[in-house]
Amino acid sequence: MLQTVSEPRGGQVEAVPEAHLLAYRFMLRARLLDEKFAALYRAGKIHGGVFLGRGQEALSAALGINLTKSDVFAPLIRDGAGRLAFGETIVDAVRTYMGSSLGPMRGRDGNVHRGNPQAGYLPMISHLGAMVSVVNGVLFARRMKGITGIVGATCLGDGATSTGAFHEALNQAAVEKLPLILVVADNQYAYSTPTSRQFACESLADRAAGYGIAGHSVDGTDLTACLKTVGMAVASARAGKGPQLVVAKLLRLCGHGEHDDASYIDPKYKTSALGRDCLKVAEEKILQQKWTDAAQIAVWRSEAIREIEEAVAQVQREPAPDPFAEEWTALSTKRLIEGNA
Amino acid sequence: MLQTVSEPRGGQVEAVPEAHLLAYRFMLRARLLDEKFAALYRAGKIHGGVFLGRGQEALSAALGINLTKSDVFAPLIRDGAGRLAFGETIVDAVRTYMGSSLGPMRGRDGNVHRGNPQAGYLPMISHLGAMVSVVNGVLFARRMKGITGIVGATCLGDGATSTGAFHEALNQAAVEKLPLILVVADNQYAYSTPTSRQFACESLADRAAGYGIAGHSVDGTDLTACLKTVGMAVASARAGKGPQLVVAKLLRLCGHGEHDDASYIDPKYKTSALGRDCLKVAEEKILQQKWTDAAQIAVWRSEAIREIEEAVAQVQREPAPDPFAEEWTALSTKRLIEGNA
Amino acid sequence: MSLTYLDAICEAQAHALRDDPRVFIYGQDVGAFGGAFKATKNLAKDFPGRVIDSPISEDAMVGLAVGAAIEGMRPIIEMQFADFSTVGFNQIVNQAATLFWRTNISCPITVRLPFGGTSGGGPFHSQSLETIYAHYPGLIVLTPATVEDAYSMLLEAVAIDDPVIFCEHKFLYRHLKAEKLPSEALPIGKARIAREGRDLTIVAYSAMVQDALEAAGELATEGWEVEVVDLRSVKPLDTDTVMASVARTGKLLAVGESWPWGGVTAEVIARVTSEGYGLLDAPPQRLNAKDTPVPYHPNLWAAHRPTVRSIGAAARKILRH
Amino acid sequence: MSLTYLDAICEAQAHALRDDPRVFIYGQDVGAFGGAFKATKNLAKDFPGRVIDSPISEDAMVGLAVGAAIEGMRPIIEMQFADFSTVGFNQIVNQAATLFWRTNISCPITVRLPFGGTSGGGPFHSQSLETIYAHYPGLIVLTPATVEDAYSMLLEAVAIDDPVIFCEHKFLYRHLKAEKLPSEALPIGKARIAREGRDLTIVAYSAMVQDALEAAGELATEGWEVEVVDLRSVKPLDTDTVMASVARTGKLLAVGESWPWGGVTAEVIARVTSEGYGLLDAPPQRLNAKDTPVPYHPNLWAAHRPTVRSIGAAARKILRH
Ligand SMILES: Cc1ncc(C[n+]2csc(CCOP(=O)(O)OP(=O)(O)O)c2C)c(N)n1
Ligand SMILES: Cc1ncc(C[n+]2csc(CCOP(=O)(O)OP(=O)(O)O)c2C)c(N)n1
Ligand SMILES: [Mg+2]
Ligand SMILES: [Mg+2]
Question: Using one digit for the tens of pLDDT, what is the confidence trace for B307-318?
Answer: 999 999 999 999
Pocket test for ligand 2, best of B56, B77, B128, B265 (most atoms within 8 A of CB): B128
Q: Span C53-73, mean pLDDT?
A: 98
Does A208 contact B210 at a Cβ distance shorter than 8 Å? Answer: yes
Residue A23 resides in a domain: yes
List pLDDT tens digits, range C150-194.
999 999 999 999 999 999 999 999 999 999 999 999 999 999 999
Question: Among A67, A90, A72, which residue's Cα sits nearest to residue A80?
Answer: A90
- For residue D65, the chain B residues in CB contact (below 8 A) are 137
Give the other-Cβ count within 10 Å of A75's Cβ: 29
Taking only the tens place, the pLDDT of each residue in B138-187 is 999 999 999 999 999 999 999 999 999 999 999 999 999 999 999 999 99
**Can you give the pLDDT at residue B111?**
97
> Average model confidence (pLDDT) for chain C?
97
Query: How far apart, in whole angstroms, are the C-alpha atoms of residue A221 and residue A209?
Result: 25
Instruction: Of A162, A200, A191, give the one whose Cα is nearest residue A252.
Output: A191
Average pLDDT over residues A272-280: 97
What pLDDT, on the 0 to 100 scale, is given for residue A14?
57
- Which ranges in chain C belong to alpha helices (H)? 5-19, 43-46, 58-70, 89-90, 97-103, 130-135, 147-159, 172-175, 207-221, 239-249, 263-275, 298-304, 308-319
Contact in structure between C106 and C162 (CB atoms under 8 Å):
yes
Q: Which residues 169-228 in chain A show a CB within 8 A of chain D?
A: 190-193, 197-199
In a domain, A5, yes or no: no
| Domains, chain C | 3-178 (3.40.50.970), 192-319 (3.40.50.920)
The order of strands in the sheet holding A72-74 is: A72-74, A152-157, A180-186, A244-249, A214-219
Which of A129, A174, A127, A181 lies closest to A154 in space, CA to CA? A181
The reported pLDDT for the residue numbered D286 is: 97
Of the pLDDT bands very low, low, confident and very high (cuts 50, 70, 90), residue A16 is confident
Distance between Cα D110 and ligand 3 center (Å): 28
Q: For C60, which of A133, A332, A337 is closest by C-beta distance?
A: A133
pLDDT tens-digit readout, B277-332: 999 999 999 999 999 999 999 999 999 999 999 999 999 999 999 999 999 999 99
Q: Identify the H or E element spanning D312.
A: helix D308-319
- Determine the average pLDDT of the residues in B107-118: 97
Tell me if A124 is assigned to some domain.
Answer: yes
How many residues in total does chain C contain? 321
Interface check B162 vs C, CB under 8 A? yes
Portion of chain B with pLDDT greater than 90, in percent: 94
pLDDT band, residue D247 (cuts 50/70/90): very high
User: For chain B, what is the domain count?
Assistant: 1
Cβ of A109 under 8 Å from any chain C Cβ?
yes
Q: How many CA atoms lie within 13 A of A118 on its CB side?
A: 7
- Collapse the DSSP code of C86 into the 3-class scheme (helix H, G, I; strand E, B; otherwise coil) and give the result: helix
Domain that holds residue B311: 16-336
Q: What is the pLDDT of residue B15?
A: 67
Ligand nearest to the Cα of D27, by number: 1
Our CA-based measurement puts residue D284 at a distance from the nearest CA of chain B, in whole angstroms, of 23
Q: In what order do the strands lie in the sheet with D23-27?
A: D51-53, D23-27, D74-78, D110-115, D164-169, D140-142, D233-235
Q: What is the three-state SS of chain A? A: CCCCCCCCCCCCCCCHHHHHHHHHHHHHHHHHHHHHHHHHHHCCCCCCCCCCCCCCHHHHHHHHHCCCCCCEEECCCCCHHHHHHHCCCHHHHHHHHHCCCCCCCCCCCCCCCCCEHHHCECCCCCCCCHHHHHHHHHHHHHHHCCCCCCCEEEEEECHHHHCHHHHHHHHHHHHHCCCEEEEEEECCEECCEEHHHCCCCCCHHHHHHHHCCEEEEEECCCHHHHHHHHHHHHHHHHCCCCCEEEEEECCCCCCCCCCCCCCCCCHHHHCCHHHCCHHHHHHHHHHHCCCCCHHHHHHHHHHHHHHHHHHHHHHHHCCCCCCCCCCCCCCCCHHHCCCCC
Q: Could you report the per-residue pLDDT of A207-244, keeping only the tens digit for each?
A: 999 999 999 999 999 999 999 999 999 999 999 999 99
pLDDT score for B12: 45
B241 touches chain A (CB under 8 A): no
pLDDT over threshold 80, residue D313? yes
Q: Is the pLDDT of residue B11 over 90?
A: no
Question: Angle at Cα D40 formed by Cα D36 and Cα D41, nearest 5°?
Answer: 90
* Count of A-D CB contacts under 8 Å: 120
Q: Which residues lie below 8 Å from residue A96, measured CB to CB, with a gap of 6+?
A: A103, A104, A105, A109, A110, A111, A112, A113, A114
Q: Is C125 a catalytic residue?
A: yes
What percentage of chain A reaches a pLDDT higher than 90?
A: 94
pLDDT at position A11 is: 45
CB contact under 8 Å between A206 and B206, yes or no, is no
Question: For residue D277, what pLDDT is reported?
Answer: 85
Which of C56, C61, C79, C115 is the best mutation target for the ligand 2 pocket, counting ligand atoms within 8 Å of the beta carbon and taking the most? C56
In CATH, what number is assigned to the domain containing residue B95? 3.40.50.970
Q: What is the DSSP secondary structure assignment for residue D137, as one 8-state letter?
A: T
Amino acid B14: pLDDT: 56
Contacting residues of B for A208, CB less than 8 Å apart: 210
Question: Concatenated DSSP letters for B273-287?
Answer: GGGS-HHHHHHHHHH
Q: Nearest-CA neighbor of D73 among D154, D10, D161, D137?
A: D161
Q: Which chain B residues contact residue C304 at CB under 8 A?
A: 323, 328
Contact C100, C107 (CB under 8 A): yes
Q: Using the beta-carbon criterion (under 8 Å), do B174 and A202 form an inter-chain contact?
A: no
Q: Does the pLDDT of residue D229 top 90, yes or no?
A: yes
Q: What is the pLDDT of residues A320-338, one digit of tens each?
A: 999 999 999 999 999 999 8
Please give the mean pLDDT across all residues of chain B.
Answer: 95
What is the C-alpha to C-alpha distance for residues B222 and B200, in angstroms, rounded to an integer?
A: 25
- For helices A16-42 and A223-238, give the axis angle rounded to 10 degrees: 110
Residue A182 lies in a domain: yes
pLDDT tens digits for range A24-34 = 999 999 999 99
Q: Which ligand is nearest to the CA of B128?
A: 2
Residue C278 to residues C201, C250, C251, C275, Cα–Cα distance (Å): 15, 9, 11, 9
Cα–Cα dist A135/A154, whole Å: 7
Q: Testing the interface with D: which of A102, A133, A328, A340 to mutate, by most D Cβ within 10 A?
A: A328
Going by alpha carbons, the residue nearest to atom 13 of ligand 2 is B190
Nearest-CB residue to A211 (from B171, B200, B211)? B200
**Once rounded to an integer, what is the mean pLDDT over residues C81-105?**
98
Model pLDDT, residue A1:
34
Q: What SS3 state is found at C263?
A: helix
- Which band of pLDDT confidence, cut at 50, 70 and 90, is reported for residue A247? very high
pLDDT over 50 (residue C200): yes
Q: How confident is the model at residue C77 (pLDDT cuts 50, 70, 90)?
A: very high
Q: Which of B132, B136, B167, B180 to mutate to test the interface with A (most CBs of A within 10 A)?
A: B167
* Residue C286 sits at the chain D interface (C-beta within 8 Å): yes
Asked if C297's CB is within 8 angstroms of B107's CB, the reply is yes
Q: How far, in Å, CA of D158 to CA of A325, rounded?
A: 46
What is the C-alpha to C-alpha distance for residues A174 and C306, in angstroms, rounded to an integer? 46
Confidence grade of residue A5 (pLDDT, cut at 50, 70, 90): very low
Q: What are phi and psi for residue A14, nearest 5 degrees?
A: -80, -35
Contacts 24+ apart (CB under 8 A), A303-309: A304/A28, A304/A29, A304/A32, A304/A33, A305/A32, A307/A29, A307/A90, A308/A29, A308/A32, A308/A33, A308/A36, A308/A90, A308/A94, A309/A36
Cα dihedral: D65, D71, D72, D73 (round 10): -40
In a domain, A207, yes or no: yes
Residue A281 CB–ligand 1 contact under 6 Å: no
Q: Can you tell me the distance from the alpha carbon of A92 to that of A23, in angstroms, rounded to the nearest whole number?
A: 20
Mean pLDDT, rounded, of chain D: 97
Q: What is the rounded CA–CA span in Å between residue B145 and residue D23?
A: 12
- Number of B to D CB contacts under 8 A, please give it: 145
What pLDDT shows up at residue B3? 42
Gap between the Cα atoms of A48 and A179, Å rounded: 35
For A140, the closest of C67, C137, C161 (CB atoms) is C67
CA C176 from centroid of its chain's CA atoms? 15
Contact A212 B198 (CB under 8 A): no
Within 13 Å of residue B164, how many CA atoms lie on the same side as its CB? 38
Give the closest residue to D60 by CA, choosing from B296, B302, C291, B134. Answer: B134
Count of CB atoms situated within 10 Å of the CB of A212: 18
Q: How far is C292 from chain D (nearest CA, A)?
A: 5
Is B240 part of any domain? Answer: yes
Nearest beta carbon to residue D94 from set C86, C135, C286: C86
> What's the whole-model pTM score?
0.97
Contact B237, B150 (CB under 8 A): no
Asked whether the beta carbons of D17 and D43 are under 8 A apart, the reply is: yes
Q: Does A276 reside within a domain?
A: yes
Task: Report yes or no on A116 lying in a domain.
Answer: yes
